[in-house]
């Protein structure tokens, strides 16, 4: 009996997951009460020392806590106690806004760079210098000039997602097959119509690949940015729970960051497939 590759891969995935949970569970379970300890000292040290319990939560703790979070994702008990749904919504909102502005800037500019060798050469030194700067390095400058932590975070998202989109758009536009351009030329299609009916569809897969890279970077950066600016967002949540020494919540946040990142990537991957046509 042979299974399809998909099914076999799924089985291996489940086995790996179960093994991971098992090892995690074994590594963090309590090792029985410690002996020879004065009651005062034991009280001071908490369960970690008295029960031999690891400070690291086990899978069951995390599961129980996660269930608790999922049942009440949107509660709001003041600045330091908000539901995970609210925190994620803040982060996704910031990423969405910064990313949208980056799209609006990078794609028209990328078109210009891709279509005009002059602008391409003129802008090249700036792009080369600005591109490798870590987006977080802009943070102090953003905070100083904008004077608003939330907008600064959005600015940082903008600056980190603009480069891959700009470069990919320029690359895609400059690399449109000459024969497709020639078709438009022999049909006397005007520049604007040519840009929308030939160059945009031809470059779309490359542009969307850039957008996919950008959304990944933006989601990486938002966590770090929110740790710095504080207030709200999943990044702030992670930092706050670390200060509360709630490793369980940190693990849950890590898990959710991964899942949201994957979903964002999948959405862009789907769009890329929609505009890609084999020849």
Partner 1 sequence: MTDKFISIEGIARRYPGAGGGTTTVFEDLWLSMARGEFGCVIGHSGCGKTTVLNILAGLDEPSEGAVIVDGQAIEGTSLDRAVIFQSHALLPWRTVLGNVAYAVSSKWRKWDGARVKAHAQKFIDLVGLTGSEHKRPSELSGGMKQRVGIARALSITPKIMLMDEPFSALDALTRGTLQDEVRRICLETGQTAFMITHDVDEAIYLADKIFLMTNGPGAVLAEIVENPLPKDRGRIDLHRHPYYYALRNHIIDFLVSRSKSFAATATGHDPRNVPTVRPGLPELAIASEAKPSTQTSWPGLSRPSTSS
Binding site residues, partner 1, CB under 8 A: 177, 179-180, 182-183, 185-189, 197-198, 201-202, 204, 275, 277-279
Q: Residue 129 to residues 37, 87, 116, 123: CA-CA distances in angstroms? A: 61, 34, 20, 10
User: How is residue 81 annotated by DSSP?
Assistant: -
Close Cβ partners of 240 (under 8 Å, ≥ 6 residues apart):
80
Alpha carbon distance 90, 97 (integer Å) = 11
Q: Which of 228, 240, 203 is nearest to 94 (CA)?
A: 228
CB of 107 to partner 1, least distance (A): 18
Q: Residue 164 to residues 70, 171, 216, 255: CA-CA distances in angstroms? A: 35, 10, 11, 26
Q: Which is nearer to partner 1, 18 or 183 (CB)?
A: 183
CB of 119 to partner 1, least distance (A): 23
CB of 209 to partner 1, least distance (A): 16
CB of 180 to partner 1, least distance (A): 6
CB of 182 to partner 1, least distance (A): 5
CB of 202 to partner 1, least distance (A): 8
How many whole angstroms from its chain centre is CA 222?
A: 7
CB 166 within 8 A of CB 109: yes
Q: Which is nearer to partner 1, 76 or 179 (CB)?
A: 179
Q: Which is nearer to partner 1, 145 or 182 (CB)?
A: 182
Q: Which is nearer to partner 1, 119 or 275 (CB)?
A: 275
Alpha carbon distance 20, 32 (integer Å) = 23
CB 132 within 8 A of CB 251: no
| Torsion sign over Cα 169, 179, 271, 253 | negative
Q: Which is nearer to partner 1, 82 or 194 (CB)?
A: 194
Coil, helix or strand for 278? coil
Q: Which is nearer to partner 1, 67 or 277 (CB)?
A: 277
Alpha carbon distance 165, 202 (integer Å) = 16
Q: Which is nearer to partner 1, 22 or 201 (CB)?
A: 201
CB 268 within 8 A of CB 211: yes
Dihedrals phi, psi of 172, to nearest 5 degrees: -65, -40
CB of 154 to partner 1, least distance (A): 34
């Amino acid at each position: 009996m042979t299974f399809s590759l998909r099914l076999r891969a799924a089985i291996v995935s489940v086995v790996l997951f179960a093994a991971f949970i098992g090892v995690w569970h074994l590594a963090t379970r309590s090792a029985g009460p410690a002996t020879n300890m004065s009651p005062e000292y034991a009280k001071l040290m908490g369960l970690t020392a008295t029960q031999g319990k690891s400070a690291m939560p086990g899978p069951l703790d995390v599961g129980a806590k996660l269930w608790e979070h999922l049942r009440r994702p949107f509660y709001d008990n003041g600045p330091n106690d908000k539901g995970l749904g609210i925190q994620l919504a803040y982060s996704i909102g910031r990423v969405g806004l910064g990313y949208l502005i980056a799209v609006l800037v990078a794609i028209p500019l990328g078109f210009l760079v891709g279509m005009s060798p002059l602008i391409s050469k003129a802008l090249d030194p700036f792009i080369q210098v600005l591109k490798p700067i870590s987006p977080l390095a802009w943070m102090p400058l953003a905070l100083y000039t904008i004077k608003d932590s939330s907008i600064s975070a959005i600015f940082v998202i903008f600056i980190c997602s603009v480069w891959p989109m700009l470069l990919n758009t320029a690359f895609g536009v400059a690399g449109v097959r000459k024969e497709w351009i020639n078709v438009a030329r022999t049909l006397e299609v005007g520049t604007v119509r040519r840009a929308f009916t030939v160059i945009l569809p031809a470059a779309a897969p490359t542009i969307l690949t850039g957008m996919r890279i950008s959304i990944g970077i933006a989601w990486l950066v938002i966590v770090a940015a929110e740790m710095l600016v504080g207030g709200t967002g999943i990044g702030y949540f992670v930092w706050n729970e670390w200060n509360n020494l709630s490793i369980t919540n940190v693990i849950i946040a890590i898990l959710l960051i991964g899942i949201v990142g994957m979903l964002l990537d999948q959405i862009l991957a789907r769009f890329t497939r929609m505009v890609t046509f084999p020849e």
